[in-house]
Amino acid sequence: MRKTESDHLTRRHLLAAGVALAAMSALAAPPARADDAVNLGVSIPAATHGFTAGIVWWANKAKKDLEQAHPGLKITVRTAAGAPQQADQLQDLTIVTKINALVVFPFESAALTQPVAQVKKRGVYVTVVDRGLSDTSAQDAYIAGDNTAFGRIPAEYIAKKYGGSADVVSLRGIPTTLDTERWNAFTGALKASPNVKILDGKYANWNRDDAFKVMQDYLTRFKKIDVVWAADDDMAVGVLKAIQQAKRTDIKEVFGGAGAKDIVKAIKDGSNPLLQADVSYSPKFIYDAIKMTAEARLKGDKLPPTYIIPSVLITRENAAEYYFPDSPY
């Protein structure tokens, strides 16, 4: 599809731009350590649900692939169960492991700004992933998925496909800024189509079981539903089961989010008529972030200060490009 090609193009452009930028500012950029080795620390949330499991898997894959490709590179991956633990690990990575580059996926923006700033103060090159810090001077580069597009793309898709008129129920994740950003983008984009009615949006904690319950209750409450915006592929699984149990035939489509492999496969194979499209928000971005940071630092380069990995509409035509059978997610 045109959109993905442009996505690759922008990525290539950006890398090229990054190289050019680095060439220009080669003198200004702090050179990598004298022995030319990059000791890269990766600090990410522990695998507590499908998406973070994907993050951990892709981070470890990056370690394996990149250490093999670059003998001068050492990558240390640490997973944390909460913000305080992550702050402790950052300290250990800096002082004990003596990293000189860091890729961090912060649990929370505010709580980790100070710990990350401390790391940077010691001369470590810091790439922040996904959740921005409250003080951006604590980071050298910021790489993130596009949460606005995560909400906007399904809204536009639904409005277009159903001719601007549909009854939609939606699920929300866990009350966080991330979830609110997606929700606001979704509802905001649907303001243009007043006949697409959002009947309700309840939290189901990015969890299959809670999504099953909430969907059962939606089915009791609303006699006609056209589309379910499940807002996450794990939640979509619970939603599909609830619809199947209630034997409801009015629902035409369930739109998840993030591009979990089972859902992408179903879209690719056309095996479930309710699953026709998805929006990408792949945990693979941690792989890209580690790769970009490591390769730039090996050359002593810098990354562009902000890089948004675009979220893309996945349909049957391009699903194969987003299907990673080996990843747990």
Q: Please say whether the beta carbons of 305 and 144 come within 8 A.
A: no
Instruction: State which residue, 92 or 209, has the beta carbon closest to other proteins.
Output: 209
User: Which residue from 296, 314, 258 is spatially nearest to 58, judged by alpha carbons?
Assistant: 258
- What does DSSP assign to residue 241? H
- Show the CA angle centred on residue 146, arms to residues 142 and 152, nearest 5°: 160
Which CB, 107 or 157, lies closer to other proteins? 107
Q: What is the DSSP letter of 313?
A: E
Angle, in degrees to the nearest 10, between helices 83-95 and 109-121: 10
Shortest distance (Å) from residue 201 CB to other proteins: 7
Closest separation in Å from C-beta 126 to other proteins? 25
Distance CA(121)–CA(239), nearest Å, equals: 47
Minimum distance, C-beta of residue 221 to other proteins, in the bound complex (Å) = 5
User: Least separation, in Å, of the C-beta of 49 and other proteins?
Assistant: 5
Give me the least distance between CB of 17 and other proteins, in Å please: 35
d(C-alpha 291, C-alpha 206), whole Å: 28
Between 74 and 208, CB nearer to other proteins: 208
Residue among 136 and 245 whose Cβ is closer to other proteins: 245
- Closest approach of other proteins to the CB of residue 212, in Å: 7
- Asked if residues 189 and 159 have their Cβ atoms less than 8 Å apart, the reply is yes
Contact 21, 304 (CB under 8 A): yes
Q: Which of 13, 105, 97, 92 has its CA nearest to residue 56?
A: 105
Cβ closest to other proteins, residue 113 vs residue 207: 207
Q: How far is the CB of 210 from other proteins (least distance, A)?
A: 9
Q: Greatest CA separation found in the chain?
A: 69
Give the nearer residue to other proteins in terms of CB position, either 262 or 288: 262
CB of 106 to other proteins, least distance (A): 19
Is 256 buried (19+), middle (13-18) or exposed (0-12) by CB count in 10 A?
buried
Binding site for other proteins (CB under 8 A): 47-50, 52-54, 56-57, 172, 175, 200-203, 205-209, 212-214, 216-218, 220-221, 234, 237-238, 241, 245, 262, 327-329
Q: Which lies closer to other proteins via its Cβ, residue 170 or residue 293?
A: 170
Q: Which is nearer to other proteins, 18 or 173 (CB)?
A: 173
The strand pairing partners of 43, in sequence order, are 78, 104
Calculate the CA dihedral of residues 133, 138, 140, 143 and round it to 10 degrees.
Answer: -10
| Bridge partners for 129 per DSSP | 143
